Each structure stands twice: as C-alpha cells, then as structure tokens.
Amino acid sequence: MNILEEIRKGENKKLEFKEKLSGNYNSFLKTVVAFANGNGGKIIFGIEDKTNKIIGIDDDEILDLSDKISNLISEKCFPSIIPEIYITNIDNKNLLIIEVFSGQLKPYYLKGKNNKKKVYIRVGATTRIADENIIKSLERERLNISYDEEILFNYPQENINFETIKKDFKNYTGKELNENKMLNLKILKEYNKKHFLTIGGALLIGKEEFLEYADIKCARFKGNTVKEFIDSKEFVGPIYKIVEDAIKFAKIHIEKNMIITEVIRKEKYVVPIEVIREAIINAVVHRDYSINSDIKLAIFDDRIEITSPGGLPGNLDVESIKYGRSEIRNKVIARFFKEIRFIEQWGTGIKRIIELCKLNGLEEPNFFDDGRYFKVIIYKIIENKEMFEKSIKPESAGKVPESAGKVPESAGKVPEIDKKILSFLKKYGKITRNDVERILNVRERRARSILKDYVEKGYLKRYGKGRNTYYKL
C-alpha cells in the first residue's frame, strides 16, 4: 500500500496525522512511545488530522522540523527509540514521515517533570496512558515469558491433587499426563530441583484461589439490550471444562431454523455452534488473566457477543488476525488446549469464525480491540438464505441405504412435483388443501392424501380445524 492510500484510509492504530509541530511536544511524543510499545506506526506531518486534507510543509521549514523531531525523540523517550524520518511529496506538497518500529526493550516511556515516567499505548486511532497491568504485560513481552508461565512458589507439586486433570487428559487424548509431560507443558516448572505449579497449571486444574476472575458469565437477554435477561449462568472450574459448559449454554439459547429440502428435513442453529466454540476457546486461550475481570457470553435476539479481558497481545491488530496472524498470550493454556485438540492449528480460530459465518450465509462478524478488552460480535442475520440452506448436509450422505434397489412402500404416495409445494410454502409460509389442488391440479381426495403423508413423515405440521385447516413447515 502506498502512502497516499494509507492517508485516504485515515488515522488508525498504526497511523496518525499532524498538521504541524505544536508547542505541546508531548502530544506527538506520546504517540511515538505508544507505537514503540505496540506494533509500530507512522506519524505524518503536513496533514490536517480532522479532515485528512494534505496541507504540506514549506521547503525552508521541513529540514529544521526533521532535526527538531529527531532531537525531541532522543531527549524525551526512553529506552532509546530510533525512528526512520523521511520526506515524501504528494501533489507538490511536502510531507514529513516519522516511522516508528515496534521496540524490543518494552515498556517505553516518556520522561516527564520530576523524573516521572509515563507509558503509553495505542488503542484504535487514539493514544492512551497504560495502566499497571499493561505495563507488566509489556515487561513480560520483553522477557518473552507469558503470565501463565509464572511460578507459584506457595504450591509445590507434592501439595497438589492432579487426579482430575490426569483423568480428563487421558479421556481427551488417550495419553498419560505424567510428571515429564506436565513439565514439558509447563503446568509444572522446576526451581532449585523442586517442582512448582504455574499460574497456567492452577487455572487448568481449577485451583479455587485463582478462579475468582477466570470464570465465564453467560446470559440470554430479552430483545437486543441488557435491560432484562431470560437466563444467566456463571461457570467456574478448570478452564477447559467451563469451555464445554458455556457451549452447552449456547446450545440451549441459540434458536434453530427448520430447513426442508427434497432430501431431508432438519433443524439447524441460526449460528453454527462451531462458530461459538471457536470464539469461546479463543477468548479463554488469549484473554489477559492478570486483569481482574471475566469472560462474558451474551446472547441477544439479533447477535451473540463474546467479550474477554485484555486487548490483542503483542503486535496484533484486528486486520492482521483476520488473515491468520497469531501471537500466544498464554503459552501454558495454549499448549494444553492444543494437546486436547481444542485448538487444531495456530492462528486459524478467527479465520475459521469468519469462514463458517460466510459458508452459513451469515453477516461477517465484527471484532473490536479496545486495549482493555477484545470483543467478537456474531450476527444472527442471515444474509444469504441459499448458502444457509446449502450448508445442511444429509445425515445419510455417502452411505448406501439399506433399501437400495427396493421399491419403497410409499411409492406413489409422495409425488415428484412436491417442489411446487415447497416453493409455495417458502413464498407464503403456509398452505391449504385448496392450494394443493390448484398447484398440483389434483382432486380433493388426492390433495388430502398428499398433505396427510407429509404430516406423517414430519415434513409439515397441521394447524386449525375444518375449513380453517392449514399446513406449515
């Protein structure tokens, strides 16, 4: 993408505009620090930030501006940030570009008065001050360790009951979860020749002291707001188990549509359960467990929302995760979930959610990264009805029926022209005996026989009595 295309798209997580260098130098220096603490970015001088209009910088000012910005970054930012500063010309107007790269010595901060240090991060198109949890997360990123790998020295191996997790691991994988395996997965870590539980290990075995904010809160709301709920549940325990609990809750409260084709009659969830499963697993594996907040599954009439604490980790942004880019925040949990086959391949979760929604005729989901939380919104709106119906597969697909080669007992009862009836039902929602007589050009007795047969086979349901009788899918 060239620079003009970037400008047309406007400010975002990796791009900020400045018309000129104002007297408040800290304004742009905060963004320099935020880009270094994130996945890098560009600050372009010579553009009006509210309108994206290219104003340009005079020839006799641009070199002095470049030197001044370079000196300010060197003096005010720590650890040292070395940006690439260059000039480009668009429509005979000069632009000064300060390109900042993701730093290796995080957290970076801005030197303030009285030696106060302030750390900044980028959230969307805004720059915000980082709180204590984010600063600690940046420190772990520099050391290349995850929060769930930290050792709990108060929990030596001999004081822990591993019976449940060993049994469940065997059920999921057919393998034994012995001491060496737990050390490899870093459920346990060695220190001074002793083995201790890690934070990830505590979350996996369901250690109560660590589960206060490691739960999943589920709710089915009435309508499309949170004013009134129909049902709510809170699931606490080993985190791989509460994944299954949340999915069961979703199965209860996500509506089904009845699909009838010439081959089958089948109920289908409006949103595939596999989509919900991927979103919940993604939330449990990638949430920030250092934040005292829980995962929330909210089901509304028109959508489903899964919200997890903590923004996207490392150098990720919403666009990059759509294309399969992945950075693992919780390495212990991720390894365990991979072993028990909750995760098939790294980086495929978000892509799979998008693809499954598309294959099922649903509107593309939305993803929001607020820095403090990450939210997935899955819409129940069926954009492509044909795709939704095509995604139904006959249970007998690929099998040779036992009756192959035999004349069915119902031969002659169900006419081949039922496509006309199906088309009528899809258009009008219900059908009467008179409609069948007219559509199929048959007598009353034959129409009754056809409708009776459809009801017995479960294709249609009968409503009303006498002259008011009608049939629906």
Domains of the chain: 6-141 (3.30.950.30), 147-210 (no CATH), 216-390 (3.30.565.60), 418-472 (1.10.10.10)
Residues contacting 82, CB < 8 A, separation 6+: none
Please tell me the distance from the alpha carbon of residue 336 to that of residue 348, in angstroms, as a whole number.
17
Residue 256 near residue 473, CB atoms below 8 Å:
no
Coil, strand, or helix at residue 411? coil
Distances (CA, A) of 136 to 103, 143, 308: 15, 11, 18
- 329: buried, middle or exposed (CB in 10 Å: 19+, 13-18, 0-12)? buried
Residue 298 near residue 276, CB atoms below 8 Å:
no
Residue 370 near residue 237, CB atoms below 8 Å:
no
Backbone angles phi, psi at 287, to 5 degrees: -65, 165
pTM of the predicted model as reported, rounded to 2 decimal places: 0.71
User: What is the chain's pLDDT, residue by residue, as a tens digit (473 residues)?
Assistant: 688 888 888 898 899 999 999 878 888 999 999 999 988 999 999 999 888 899 999 999 999 999 999 999 999 999 999 999 999 999 899 999 999 999 999 999 999 877 788 999 988 889 999 988 889 889 988 888 889 999 999 999 999 999 999 999 999 999 999 999 999 999 999 999 999 999 999 999 998 887 888 999 999 999 999 999 999 999 999 999 999 999 999 999 998 877 665 555 667 889 999 999 999 999 999 999 988 899 999 999 999 999 999 988 877 888 888 888 888 899 999 999 999 999 877 778 899 999 999 988 899 999 998 888 999 999 997 655 555 555 555 443 334 334 333 333 333 333 344 677 887 877 777 888 888 888 887 888 888 888 888 887 777 888 887 777 888 87
SS (H, E, C) 308-350: EECCCCCCCCHHHHHCCCCCCCCHHHHHHHHHCCCCCCCCCHH
Q: Tell me the two tokens of residue 467.
A: 């002259």
Choose among 129, 61, 70: nearest CA to 100. 70
Please tell me the distance from the alpha carbon of residue 59 to that of residue 64, in angstroms, as a whole number.
10
Across-strand partners of 265?
A: 260
* CA angle, residues 378, 380, 386, in degrees to nearest 5: 115
- 325: buried, middle or exposed (CB in 10 Å: 19+, 13-18, 0-12)? middle
